[in-house]
Structure 1
Amino acid sequence: MNITATPALPLGDDALILSHRLGEWAGHAPVLEEEVALANIALDLLGQARVLLSLAGDEDEDELAYLREERQFRNLQLVEQPNGDFAHTIARQLYFSTYQELLFDHLAATESELAPLAGKAVKEVAYHRDHAHQWTLRLGDGTDESHARMQRALDSLWQFTGELFEPVDGLETVPWSALEDSWTTRITATLEQATLTVPEGPRHGAWRAGAGRQGLHTESFGRLLAEMQHLHRSHPGATW
């Protein structure tokens, strides 16, 4: 498989894998309105993934999504984490969407091949972040149970946030340190407003920094990939 060395690949993988995770909520969300909201966010991310992966190689986006092996994916470990309970999903979305909005806002103002996509997608991502922000407030400043679950989710996923700001090949103009500072400021403001505590644990987990970007993934990713790729691999060349 001929995959071009471009930052479109890791960013496309982020969107693809998180889209799949959010799609797993179909039929299981706590309320109908939220099922629609999560499905719409998943579709936004899938649209981003299609554009980004179309820039990443000679194969079309279906081949890149369904025929690559686990070590060929370059997504962040954060986005592949299981949904867990609803608070866990919201914490993952808050961390990722805040990062993605800052990154796309920067890329939209550059002359990068990613600028057109970033300029359009940043408006979608702003909604994704606001959705996660509002739910973080509701859960954090809600009942004792919702507060405890939200804090546990934030603490559990914190170990994967360090990888967000590891430099990506081809994006040398991105001020990663400044992005991390802005991300930390936004996350801190949201959690304080929600009466939650910013986690204090290590931000790189058991894997070395940048592991997902290097093709090293957590145990749950293999199961996600098997499910996502099963139909395409079972019926190669089929059209619908």
Structure 2
Amino acid sequence: MAFDNALGAIAEDNDETRWAFGTGFHDPLAGIDTSVPDGIDAAALSTYCLMLGDDALIMSHRLQEWCTHAPELEEEVALANIALDLLGQARLLLSRAATAEDAGRDEDALAYFRDAPQFRNIVLAELPNGDFAHSTVRLLLFSTWRLALLDRLTASRDPVLAAIAAKSVKEVAYHRDHAALWTIRLGDGTALSHARTQQALDTLWPHTGELFTTHKVERDLAIAGVAVNPSASDVRTEFDTVLDEVLTKATLHRPAPVPPPPTLAGRDGEHSTSLSGLLAELQSVARAHPGATW
């Protein structure tokens, strides 16, 4: 591999080169200028990257749980690849959070040695998988929303965040399209697959309210040209347009237009009980052998 760090590998000029996160990169941002640009609140930037990184990390773990359980071999490989994409995004975003924080922590410390109330992921990402239709619809909602954010983050005033977003857009576009094809296949399939997919949509839809609820950190950084305000009309319009097209082809009925206010606020560390169980599994080895490297 001809790269010294992960960020160099995701540059536009190297887009056709195949590589993988975790291969030869102990520190994904080694050799990169990670200084926070003038006029940007470093603490807020760190928190924002934690939000996006935690979303990716937790969603990646839920997708990994499908290994050996997917309905067919090709889907087994596809879900594993999507999970790896999100894990790669989490590595870079948590590393950026650590460098902006400048408190001596790294990506591993943030991933493995925080408790549930310290995580800032959206609740939608942490919910248990349920059946295959449930996970497919969840991936569709998550990736459609995330793609709208990442596409706009490519213009962020933080060059590191902008570079991460630029590569991630291409990955998440595939995630969204993959989930859309499966949603259509299930929704417009048998009576049973249609019923399960509609049930999944009805169950998950209330959690989409949180996706478009703006946190103070997001609002302040959006004003500074660093972040994206998720409640901006163009973000919601893109989400709605894609969902309407997919659901129409899938013969599914969209739930109530305006979800009720979220009962939990993942951005502020308020999570469902399922996150603690997920973290117990994700963090078990690192906590059993603190300081170990492999």
- Does the alignment reach a TM-score above 0.5? yes
Taking only aligned residues, the RMSD between alpha carbons, in angstroms, comes to 1.6
Q: Which of 60, 67, 70 does residue 29 from structure 1 map onto?
A: 70
Q: Which residue of 2 aligns with 1:62?
A: 108
CA distance in structure 2 between the partners assigned to 1:205 and 1:30 by the alignment: 34
Q: Secondary structure of 1:192's match?
A: helix
Give 1:68-107 correspondences, 5 Å limit.
68-107=114-153
Alignment map for 1:138-157 (pairs within 5 Å): 138-157=185-204
Amino acid in the other structure paired with 1:17: I
Q: Deviation string for 1:85-133 (max 9, x for gaps)?
A: 0000001000010011111111113333411111111000000000000
Q: Which runs of 5+ in 1 are unaligned?
A: none
Q: Secondary structure at the match of 1:56?
A: helix
Q: What is the CA–CA distance in structure 2 between the aligned matches of 1:127 and 1:112, rounded to whole Å?
A: 25
1:177 and 2:258 equivalent? no
Cα contact 1:22–1:39 (8 A) shared by 2: yes
Secondary structure at the aligned position of 2:121 is classed as coil
**Which of 281, 285, 288 pairs up with 1:227?**
281
> How do 1:98-177 residues align onto structure 2 when only pairs under 5 Å count?
98-113=144-159, 114-168=161-215, 169=217, 170-172=221-223, 173=225, 174-175=228-229, 176-177=231-232
Q: Deviations over 1:169-195 (max 9, x none)?
A: 133453533211221121111101110
Letter in 2 for 1:182: E
Larger radius of gyration: 2
User: TM-score, normalization: structure 1?
Assistant: 0.93
Query: Any residues of structure 2 matched to 1:197-236 within 5 Å, and which?
Result: 197-200=253-256, 203-204=259-260, 207=263, 211-236=265-290
Provide the aligned length of Structure 1 versus Structure 2. 236
**How far, CA to CA, are the matches of 2:157 and 2:261 in structure 1?**
35
Q: Under a length normalisation based on structure 2, what TM-score does the superposition of the two structures give?
A: 0.77
Partner AA of 2:84 in structure 1: L
What secondary structure, in the 3-state scheme, does the structure 2 residue paired with 1:119 have? helix
Question: Which one scores higher on RCO, CA 8 angstroms, separation ≥ 6?
Answer: 1
Shift in CA distance, 205/230, structure 1 to aligned 2, threshold 3 Å: farther
Counterpart CA distance in 1 for 2:147 and 2:88 is 16
Moved more, 114-123 or 194-203: 194-203
In structure 2, what residue type is equivalent to 1:93?
A: L
- Counterpart contact for 2:210–2:262, Cα < 8 Å: no
Of 242, 248, 252 in structure 2, the residue corresponding to residue 196 of structure 1 is: 252
